[in-house]
Amino acid sequence: MQGVDPAWLPDEAFRPIGTRRTLIRGSGPLVDTVRAEVARACARFGGRVEHGAAPGPFDLVLELTGEDSSEGFTHERRGGRTTVTAQGRRGLLYGLFHVVRLGEAAFRGERGRERHAPASALRMLDHWDNVAVHPVMGQVERGYAGGSLFWEDGRARGDLTRVRAYGRLLAACGINALCVNNVNVHKAEARLLTDRIGDVADLADALRPYGVRTHLSVTFAAPMLLGDLPTADPLDGAVRAWWAEATARVHEAIPDFGGYVVKADSEGQPGPFVYGRSHADGANMLAAALEPYGGTVHWRAFVYDHRQDWRDRTTDRARAAYDHFAPLDGEFADNAVLQVKHGPMDFQAREPVSPLIGAMPRTRLAVEVQATQEYTGQQRHVCWLGPMWSEVLRFRADGKSPVGELADGGLVAVSNVGDDPFWTGHPLAQANLYTFGRLAWQPDADPHEVLDEWIRLTSGEGPAAGLRAILDGSWRTYEKYTAPLGVGWMVQPGHHYGPSVDGYEYSPWGTYHFADRDGVGVDRSVATGTGYAGQYAKPWAELYESPDTCPDELLLFFHHVSYGHMLRSGKTVIQHIYDTHFEGVAEVAEARRTWASLAGLVEPARHARVAELFEEQLRSAREWRDQINSYFFRKSGVADAHGRRIY
């Protein structure tokens, strides 16, 4: 697309295929997509695409061997021929992009038969896009990449060229589902379910050729808001009939509709509590409406008291999801998926893994991460989240299985994409979207290999070492110069950009650090605190219970300790705060220098954009360093061991 960054699908990525002779066997819409991709590459680079019984030899054979809906494929190379076979059309599409990702390596040497299939059938992006611009939250809630790809000023975009290009990028990293509107469903958005379903159908049509199914966020109050019913009680017959009817119409418009996403009884959104019903009642009602069509309801577990009294230290927001949902294990319908944020709070730069994920063996779970960098630099800071997500996915939340397996309902990311020419505002934030897709397909993948793959596709070998140096440790760097030791929330209220140590300290949001002149942190132990640590399975409950065994990076999340408390690292808490904040800024300065050295190796517009953003990141990192250090110096009175400047 003209004027739009090609991201990880530049023409050059198709050269290995486009210069060769490819045979495609099979038919149907997704096979047409595969054929068109190969044909386009050949048109550009001089290769050929054949089909049916065309005579060989071929460099590449892409062959559909069945008709099912599976997504896996096999790949092998023997006798100078690379072969991809798939029993389902989706698999063939993913096989094609597998070859694209391999590049020239796909056509070298011999390669034994490999079977590839996604760990989970659902790899989804939630777009927090509003149809109508919200007076506070704007066109895209927590969006840092311009407007919405789908909506503009209350209307659906007429030209969906960009949406189709987006679907192509998603397919190329393995994403197969997309929710087109914000989980906070306002008035205009509510109507997407009924009289504006045509807008959603248009989007579904644009995404379908790339194997991406469309989902919709709905409001629990829809039967009242749109149906003029006196109640939205999930056990009320008329309500259930209304949802059945509405869902039937949705499926008329979108035969392969994915399902509903629901934020209920959360931050002001309506839900089943008002009727004395459980969240299982609520979810199961929608599951029943979707069941005849194979749809799924994604029911978010983000339920907590957002009007808490900061004076009350017995209430702990971190406990809320577990307290609300763990007792409901086994009560959810088969096509209801409980969508759990990866941490117990809300996408802070460092959180423990939510204990709820290990506590729902009889419930289908989806784990939600946040690609949009609400609390991680808002796409003005480089912060590659691959290692964070990988840590989450490898964490054995129930003491036995990794989160990547426990999340049998799939992985979901809040999208970081908008109508920005670079898709994600910060060009390097594309790496987060790509990494999410690849980890969703294979949760135990090495994120650093995924990063290398993204770098190779996006930028080639020239700037690769520099890009790796900039991105690889960028999450740890961000963690260093922001809130320390897992305590979180030291951000400006409302927009969440930049430091404000006490910004959420006396708020109703359940977000406290309890710093005083002696120490800091939240006691969430069972013995003396809120008991949150006890929500974990073994061995985590014991590990987190004591400050002696709690990992340093989560210490202040679980414990209130003195500034002189000795970390496992051998540093005191206060010296750790000072040191990490000075180090974090130094690391940003170093990354900025590295980026400057890549001029000439990176496309000029992209280089200029990132260079400009590095100025802001460095300014902001210094602001974080100085505010955090000054705050804790003023409170603790402890001087920096190295005598550096603290204000």
Would you please indicate which residues are annotated as catalytic (active-site) residues? 267, 346, 374
| Complex with its own copies: residue 186 or 191, whichever CB lies closer | 186
Would you call 116 helix, strand, or coil by DSSP?
strand
| Complex with its own copies: residue 208 or 496, whichever CB lies closer | 496
**Residue 171 burial (CB count, 10 A):** 25
Within 422-481, which residues bind its own copies (CB under 8 A)?
A: none
Contacts with its own copies, 286-315, as mask; x by CB under 8 A: ------------------------xx----
Nearest to 525 by CA among 557, 552, 553, 573: 557
Which residue from 281, 502, 583, 616 is in contact with its own copies, where contact means CB under 8 A? 502
Nearest to 342 by CA among 407, 251, 254: 407
| Complex with its own copies: residue 490 or 598, whichever CB lies closer | 490
| Complex with its own copies: residue 396 or 622, whichever CB lies closer | 622
CB of 133 to its own copies, least distance (A): 11
8 Å CB contact between 24 and 49:
yes
Tell whether residue 501 is a contact of its own copies (CB under 8 A). yes
Tell whether residue 630 is a contact of its own copies (CB under 8 A). yes
CB of 559 to its own copies, least distance (A): 17
Quote the CA–CA distance of 558 and 525 in Å, as a whole number: 6
| Complex with its own copies: residue 560 or 565, whichever CB lies closer | 560
In this structure, the strands spanning 81-88 and 73-78 are antiparallel
Quote the CA–CA distance of 574 and 630 in Å, as a whole number: 11
Tell whether residue 231 is a contact of its own copies (CB under 8 A). no
Tell whether residue 499 is a contact of its own copies (CB under 8 A). yes
8 Å CB contact between 66 and 59:
no
* Burial of 312 (C-beta count, 10 Å sphere; 0-12/13-18/19+): exposed
Tell whether residue 56 is a contact of its own copies (CB under 8 A). no
**DSSP E strand stretches across 123-246:** 123-126, 129-134, 138-140, 151-152, 155-156, 177-179, 213-217
Quote the CA–CA distance of 181 and 208 in Å, as a whole number: 17
Region of 44-52, 208-216, 500-508, 543-551 interacting with its own copies (CB under 8 A): 500-508
Which residue from 518, 542, 612, 615 is in contact with its own copies, where contact means CB under 8 A? 518
Alpha helices (runs of H) in 211-329, residue ranges in sequence order: 222-225, 237-253, 279-290, 320-325
Which residue from 40, 396, 468, 635 is in contact with its own copies, where contact means CB under 8 A? 635
Region of 183-191, 242-250, 462-470, 513-521 interacting with its own copies (CB under 8 A): 513-521
CB of 633 to its own copies, least distance (A): 8
* Burial of 29 (C-beta count, 10 Å sphere; 0-12/13-18/19+): exposed
Question: CA of 368: how far to CAs of 82, 149, 166, 250, in Å?
Answer: 36, 21, 21, 25
| Complex with its own copies: residue 70 or 627, whichever CB lies closer | 627
Quote the CA–CA distance of 581 and 480 in Å, as a whole number: 6
| Complex with its own copies: residue 249 or 619, whichever CB lies closer | 619
Contacts with its own copies, 608-627, as mask; x by CB under 8 A: ---------------x--xx
Would you call 578 helix, strand, or coil by DSSP?
helix
Region of 37-45, 362-370, 574-582, 628-636 interacting with its own copies (CB under 8 A): 628-636
Binding site for its own copies (CB under 8 A): 310-311, 499-503, 506, 515-518, 623, 626-627, 630-631, 633-637, 647
